[in-house]
Amino acid sequence: MPRSDLTLALVGSGGDGVITMGDMIAQAGASEGLNVIKVEAYGPQIRGGESSTTVRVSGDEIFAQADFVDILVVFAWKDFARFKSEIMVAPNAIIFSEAKDETEVDGADLGAGPEATWIKVPFIELAKEAAGTTLAKNIVTLGLVSELFSLPQEPIRKAIVNKFSKKKAKVLEANLKGFAAGIEFAKGLDTDLSDWRLEYTPGEPKLLMSGNEAAAVGAIHAGCRFFSGYPITPSSEVLHFLSQWMPMVGGSVVQTEDELAAIGGVLGASFAGVKAMTATSGPGLALMTEMLGLASMAELPAVIFDVQRGGPSTGLPTKSEQSDLWQALYGSHGDAPRVVLAPADVEDCFHTVVDAFNIAEEYQIPVIVLSDQNIAQRSETLSMLTLSHEVKERVTPAAGELEDYKRYKETPTGVSPMTWPGIEGGQYQTNGLEHDEYGKPTSMFLVHEKMNAKRYRKLRPIRDEFHFIRRYGPDDADVGILCWGSSKGPVKEAVQRANARGEKVAAFVPQVLYPFPKHEFEEFLKEIKEFIVIELSYSAQFYKYLRTFLELPEGHTNIVKRSGGKNLTVHEVEEEIKKALPQASTKREVLV
């Protein structure tokens, strides 16, 4: 029976072209309206080392990488070793490998069961014969897998034509021959793989974007016209994209000497009345925390896009983790209010960035958007329709407000009229010192207390106005799961599977972490019987943060936390649900 959802993993080393291969499958899928999620991984070698690409294509909605790979292609087993714990195949997977490679492989190591199908393919030979170069191995593979598993073959062929049409005609021709050879080889195979064919109804083409790209587009959409940043994995694509597009919309990109200058540039531009953003990762955010406090104190709008990776220190720079949370919430000296948002998928990256600008500009407060490597660097299909979002502009003070102008005037919301250079009569002198309503420095306790209160007062209206929350599953769930960021994908999928089994499981995913949507969450808590909180942080940063202001159900709270470095799997979530369900059925009282 053909299937609607298929995951392929391709493993090789530099020059094997596995990344190109993944791209082409993803592009072809997207052009056919399929849902695609593609991730890449690399060994420590900068170039020429091991690399892998994993593509999930599906006719149904998908929310994460699959836990298990259905189809694995390995050009050399020694390259695979690097990914052993990262790429697990399904027990009944189809495993293709280079015929010449005689490495002994223990299927159990990969997750393969006795029911797995092992197929040796003379990739090198086929490529050499058909295309005259072993470089065409990947194109041969595309022919093979597209034929065997009914991947969109015509679009893949077009992708090949596209890629090589800029080169000499001979090169294109050779590659098309390689493609054909792969198809031919597939046709000649006598193993029946028809159960593995992908069945889908073609639809409108979809966009294919990474989280970092979506964030960058979000910034431009929100009206950001100044970006300063310092490259750092896994956030650099934001800088790359904006270096191209920002000038086209009339804005500026400055690659600064370090992260201190990056946040400084943002605060300067913002002070000057221009929407501004920076992007970084944990180590860079650490360097920015001093000036984040300045943004809180001088009440400057600022958007800091932070893509989390494994820590501490340089840590695991290419892997995902959810351990920048504390630093984002608490990483400044003094009582320095800020807002923390967190996208949970690629599309969210667009929306949270626009929200971040809206909040920053309306409330004159720094907003940190905590993305993570998982959603930042994976490619995902999106519909154009979902990518629109209302944009708010900074409000110029009314004329009357400029008489005896108080930049930090006390107001019920804590928000004061803000001018910027160019506005005649709006001049003011600000600073990072404690100051009075005019901005004049003071060290008086009473002013300090009043101004602290003013700055924190903004958080309440922000909470009331912005509640970007996702909720899955039935209202009267037995088990309720709370998670954030990229953990959403596997959690949502696990919840849907559980619901399909008739299990009453629900999930709550806040995209606004601070100020936390407390009301909504407490409503959620009331309904459920057993509570699970899931995160990828060894020290359980999210759980501990929740405890600072929430009463979590005593005896019914299951803390699921581990280090990052490996993305959360649906299986892990399902295991937790399995453990929690019986607890829920034995205890009937409502929580909280």
Partner 1 sequence: MSATETVFKPGSYKTDLKPVWCPGCGDFGVLNALYRAMAKLQLEPWNTVVLSGIGCSSRLPGYVATYGFNSVHGRGLTLATGVKISRPDTTVIVVGGDGDGMAIGGNHLMHTCRRNLDVTYILMDNEIYGLTKGQTAPTTPTGDKTKSSFWGNPEPAVDPVELAIATGATFVARGYSGDMKMLTELIQRGIEHHGFSFINVLSPCVTWRGETQYGIIKEKLRSVPEDHDVTSREAAMRFTREKDVVTEGVLYEVHEPTFGDQLEAIRKKAQGGKPEPSTKEILKTFYPTL
Ligand X SMILES: Cc1ncc(C[n+]2csc(CCOP(=O)(O)OP(=O)(O)O)c2C)c(N)n1
Binding-site ranges for ligand SF4 (CB under 6 A): 46-47
Q: Provide the terminal-to-terminal Cα distance of the chain, rounded to the nearest Å.
A: 47
State the residues that interact with ligand X by CB under 6 A.
230-232, 259, 283-284, 287, 314
Q: Which does 215 bind (CB under 5 to 8 A by kind): partner 1, a second copy, ligand X, none?
A: none
The item of ligand X, a second copy, partner 1, none sharing an interface with residue 453, based on CB under 5 to 8 Å by kind, is a second copy
Asked if 281 and 233 touch (Cβ cutoff 8 Å), the reply is yes
Of 411, 404, 328, 426, nearest in space to 364 by CA: 411
| Minimum distance of partner 1 from residue 294's CB (angstroms) | 5
The entry of partner 1, ligand X, a second copy, none near residue 27 (CB within 5 to 8 angstroms by kind) is: partner 1
- Give min distance, CB of 231 to partner 1, in A: 4
Min CB(409)–ligand X separation in Å: 27
Which amino acid is residue 133, in one-letter code?
T
Closest approach, Cβ 261 to a second copy, in A, equals: 13
Nearer to partner 1, 92 or 383 (CB): 383
The answer to whether the Cα torsion of 287, 291, 293, 299 is positive or negative is negative
Q: Quote the least distance from Cβ 290 to ligand X, whole Å.
A: 6
CB of 365 to a second copy, least distance (A): 12
As given in the structure block, the two tokens for residue 188 are 């000649």
The option from ligand SF4, partner 1, a second copy, none interacting with 364 (CB < 5 to 8 A, set by class) reads none
Residue with smaller CB distance to a second copy, 337 or 417: 337
Q: Return the HEC string of 23-80.
A: HHHHHHHHHCCCEEEEEEEECCCCCCCEEEEEEEEECCCCCCCCCEEEEEEECCHHHH
> What residues form DSSP beta bridges with 561?
535
Report the partner that residue 298 touches, choosing among a second copy, ligand SF4, ligand X, none (CB closer than 5 to 8 A by kind): a second copy
Tokens representing 25 are 């499958």
Side-chain-side CA neighbours of 39 within 13 Å: the count stands at 23
DSSP state of 399: G
Of 45 and 427, which CB lies nearer to ligand SF4 in the complex structure? 45
Residue 48 CB, nearest distance to ligand SF4 (Å)? 8
556 contact, one of ligand SF4, ligand X, partner 1, none, CB 5-8 Å limit per kind: none
Asked if residues 181 and 140 have their Cβ atoms less than 8 Å apart, the reply is yes
428 binds, among partner 1, ligand X, a second copy, none (CB under 5 to 8 A by kind): partner 1
By the 10 Å C-beta count (0-12 exposed, 13-18 middle, 19+ buried), 264 is classed as: middle
Nearer to partner 1 among residue 246 and residue 368 (C-beta): 246
Compute the least distance from the CB of residue 278 to ligand X, in Å: 12
10, 56, 473 from 234: Cα distances, Å: 22, 21, 32
> Distance (Å, rounded) from C-alpha 184 to C-alpha 138?
15
How many angstroms separate the CA atoms of 588 and 528, rounded? 10
Quick one: what does residue 432 bind among a second copy, ligand SF4, ligand X, none, with the CB cut-off 5 to 8 Å set by partner type?
a second copy
Distance of closest approach, residue 338 Cβ to partner 1, in angstroms: 16
Minimum Å gap between C-beta 55 and ligand X is 28
Contacts 24+ apart (CB under 8 A), 491-497: 491/534, 491/568, 491/573, 492/63, 492/64, 493/62, 493/63, 493/64, 493/570, 493/573, 494/570, 494/573, 494/574, 494/577, 495/573, 496/472, 497/570, 497/574
**How would you class 154 by CB atoms within 10 Å of its CB: exposed for 0-12, middle for 13-18, buried for 19 or more?**
exposed
Question: What are the φ/ψ torsions at residue 551 (nearest 5 degrees)?
Answer: -95, 110
| 268 or 283: CB nearest ligand X | 283
| Residue (49 or 334) nearer to ligand SF4, CB | 49
* 3-class state of residue 340 by DSSP: strand
Q: Which does 230 bind (CB under 5 to 8 A by kind): ligand SF4, a second copy, ligand X, none?
A: ligand X
CB atoms within 10 A of CB 443: 8
Of the pair 49, 425, the CB lying nearest ligand SF4 is at: 49
Distances, alpha carbon 322 to alpha carbons 156, 308, 485, in Å: 36, 6, 8
Q: CB of residue 283 vs ligand X: minimum separation in angstroms? A: 4
In the bound state with ligand SF4, the residue whose beta carbon lies nearer, of 230 and 305, is: 230
| Positions that interact with a second copy (CB under 8 A) | 44, 85-86, 281-283, 285-287, 289-290, 293-294, 296-298, 308, 310-319, 321, 323-324, 326-327, 329-337, 431-434, 441, 443-446, 448-449, 452-453, 456, 537-539, 541, 544-545, 547-549, 562-566
315 binds, among partner 1, ligand SF4, a second copy, none (CB under 5 to 8 A by kind): a second copy
The CA-CA-CA angle for residues 389, 394, 399, to 5°, reads 145
Pick between residue 47 and residue 333 the one whose CB is nearest to ligand SF4. 47
Nearer Cβ to ligand SF4, position 234 or 414? 234
